[in-house]
């Protein structure tokens, strides 16, 4: 048989894979996403190393995920226990980092009589899925769309009205997408607003600034040591950015970070960044560190009680992230009226001491590469697009643990 050399991931050496006798069909990541969203039962065989799989993998209520590292399929005599772990009466969706090792293994499985398909471009392809969903429950001026990135749970927002648009929490990987989407709605993208210095993804405000868009970062975030202040507009508490007839008000909401700022869109939707989510609240340690987490948690409590919960119950809360614990609204967005969260989330009705104890009790691991990502978003690291994409692969982990935050 002929052989081809491929690199299966950044952490693996080059591996020679023989060409399998059978050729597997490729499934596009967007197609797989749609099938999962429709509740179809899916068996996924992830052939990355166990550490990569544990860090992040494709999940869903209808998904059964199996992890068997690729090298176990390279032995001349593959163990029978491997085949016994795989269903022989249903389709197996094989995925790796970039779609190369999984292509070989899916073909090998087909040769063994399994119904196997390969995820095109692997987990990298999964990370490129980025969907815009209209927030139909928004009743303010203009139209608001929620951007959803299922691989990481990152959410962003596009507000459009009367020929102008603003994007909130843009990702560098999708810079062109925001410009194209604004144009599709006959609008010019005039603002790119970040809620804070992100720790889980590389911001898109700087490349958008290079395209003539006004890039906005909270003033308190700039004070953390941003080096390229000449290309940024500082947003102070109470500042208003106008898009068509839509007013977007900056509301300083510290806690997750000192600079965290929410944006009240049309008096009807609060883009909270990483302050408040529909299923959780922020973790307080990514800027403050372990030693400052308690004080940051107290600041978050004050923010929630005095700056967010004082708003109308009808205001839609629209966070910067989502997780498997979140339930989408009827329109498919991860938004919820503030009144509903007030009634359902125990953390919002606790006293300060109980709140702080709960938030600090069980924080998840910090986002992968978060220190490098923060430095990049401060303008201190100059990296190319490929490196930026690699740094943010994986889950966001910007929320406190969801296990005990919501009510019964």
Cite the active site residues. Answer: 96
Three-state secondary-structure class, residue 300? helix
Backbone angles phi, psi at 302, to 5 degrees: -60, -40
Q: Which residues contact 54 (CB under 8 A, 6 or more apart)?
A: none
Q: Which residues contact 289 (CB under 8 A, 6 or more apart)?
A: none
Q: Which residues contact 408 (CB under 8 A, 6 or more apart)?
A: none
3-state percent breakdown (helix, strand, coil) of the chain, nearest 5: 30, 25, 45
The beta strand positions in 57-103, using DSSP E, are 63-67, 92-95
CA distances from 93 to 6, 27, 42, 124, 304 (A): 20, 8, 7, 15, 43
Token pair recorded at residue 333: 């967005």
């Amino acid at each position: 048989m002929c052989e081809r050399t491929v690199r299966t991931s950044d952490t693996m050496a080059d591996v020679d894979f023989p060409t399998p006798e059978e050729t597997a069909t490729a499934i596009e990541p967007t197609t797989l996403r749609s099938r999962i969203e429709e509740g179809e039962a899916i068996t996924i065989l992830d052939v990355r190393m166990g550490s990569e799989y544990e860090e992040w993998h494709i999940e869903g209520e209808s998904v059964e995920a199996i992890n068997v590292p690729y090298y176990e399929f390279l032995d001349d005599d593959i163990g029978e226990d491997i085949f016994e772990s795989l269903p022989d009466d249903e389709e197996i969706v094989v995925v790796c980092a970039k779609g190369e090792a999984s292509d070989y293994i899916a073909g090998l499985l087909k040769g063994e009589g399994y119904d196997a398909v390969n995820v095109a471009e692997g987990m990298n392809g999964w990370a490129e899925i980025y969907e815009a969903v209209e927030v139909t429950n928004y009743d303010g001026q203009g139209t608001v769309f929620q951007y959803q990135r299922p691989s990481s749970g990152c959410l962003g927002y596009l507000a459009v009205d009367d020929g102008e648009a603003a994007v909130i929490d843009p990702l560098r990987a999708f810079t062109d997408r925001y410009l194209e989407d604004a144009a599709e709605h006959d609008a010019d993208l005039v603002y790119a607003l970040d809620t804070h210095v992100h720790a889980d993804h590389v911001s898109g405000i700087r490349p958008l600034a290079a395209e003539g868009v006004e890039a906005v970062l909270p003033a308190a975030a700039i004070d953390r040591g941003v080096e390229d202040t000449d290309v940024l507009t500082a947003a102070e508490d109470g500042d208003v950015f106008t898009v068509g007839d839509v007013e977007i008000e900056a509301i300083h909401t510290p806690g997750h970070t000192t600079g965290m700022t929410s944006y009240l869109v049309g008096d009807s939707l609060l883009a909270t960044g990483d302050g408040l989510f529909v299923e959780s609240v922020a973790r307080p340690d990514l800027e403050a560190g372990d030693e400052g987490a308690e004080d940051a948690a107290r600041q978050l409590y004050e923010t929630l009680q005095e700056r967010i919960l004082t708003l109308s119950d009808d205001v839609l809360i629209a966070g910067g992230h989502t997780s498997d614990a979140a339930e989408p609204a009827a329109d498919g967005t991860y938004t919820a009226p503030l009144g509903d969260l007030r009634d359902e989330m125990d953390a919002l009705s606790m006293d300060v001491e109980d709140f702080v104890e709960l938030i600090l009790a069980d924080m998840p691991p910090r986002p992968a590469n978060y220190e490098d990502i923060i430095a990049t978003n401060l303008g201190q690291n100059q990296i190319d697009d490929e490196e930026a994409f690699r740094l943010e692969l994986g889950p966001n982990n910007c929320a406190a643990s969801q296990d005990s935050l919501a009510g019964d």
